[in-house]
Amino acid sequence: MVATPGTGQLEQAVRLVDEVLGPDHVGSYLHGSAVLAGLRPASDVDILTLAARSLDDAQRRALVAGIMPLSGVRVGARPLELTIVVQSDVRPWRYPPICDFLYGEWLRAEYEAGMVPPREPIATVCLELAVALAADHALAGPPPVLVLDPVPTADLARASVAGIPSLLADLAWDRRNVLLTLARSWFTVATGTIASKDGAADWALARLPEAHRPVLEHARELYLTSGYVDEEWSDELSARVPAHVDEVLRRIQELTPPA
């Protein structure tokens, strides 16, 4: 059984970050589902860390080695997602943000094969920064507003659209989360704000034609009630997925200014 995430897992993760980064650990902040609407049965625990300088190879390896025993159903815990950004990369603000380090449980096989998380631009880190700022939930260090610049609304929309191609590439094996994240992208482009996955689904369902609602309704129900299990989709619902995706993409495109 997956343990309810709480202070134990968070404390261990933040302690690890502090030990590896030492005086370069500016602060760590909770974001994601935990602060948007509460953790759901299959939610990750999301941590954003601000560092004073870029990590070296030894630090990257130490973080991966230290997080793996704390993360995922195989160790009876929720998956951890740790994003590290260097303060000078995001303050003063510029787009796209540079992600200095990323641990995500979906990459475990790559880590086990020796992959070291690289430093690279990742547009969707905009969303993580914005949620961390809005939530104001410091796990270590000063309040985020004192160490981070605000993310412009236009860049939240840009980041939501930029993440769509890689999102759609996961549709075959992660249908529930892809459909919900796509609804959230539509919500962000339309409103300039960020909602929980189920909150964005509620918003989208109120705006979709009847024919396109069942797919998202099912994804939302799975999200609210199912844990880390294989998704169950009827043949009828599966057949409706492509048309649903096309409809949501069309709605996003209508709201997206030309490049």
Q: Which residues are catalytic?
A: 81
The separation between the first and the last C-alpha atoms of the chain, rounded to the nearest angstrom, is 47
Q: Are 220 and 198 in contact (CB under 8 A)?
A: yes
The partner residues of 101 in beta bridges, in order of sequence, read 84
Question: Could you give the C-alpha distances from 231 to 52, 71, 171, 219, 259, in angstroms and in order?
Answer: 41, 21, 12, 9, 36
Other beta carbons less than 10 A from residue 200's beta carbon: 27
> Residue 134 burial (CB < 10 Å; 0-12/13-18/19+)?
middle
Q: How far apart are CA 178 and CA 174, in angstroms?
A: 6
Phi, psi of 221 (to 5 degrees): -65, -40
Give me 105's structure tokens.
């449980």
Give me 220's structure tokens.
């939302």
Give me 64's structure tokens.
């991966």
Q: Tell me whether strands 45-51 and 80-86 are parallel, antiparallel or unpaired.
A: parallel
Q: How far apart are CA 12 and CA 202, in angstroms?
A: 35
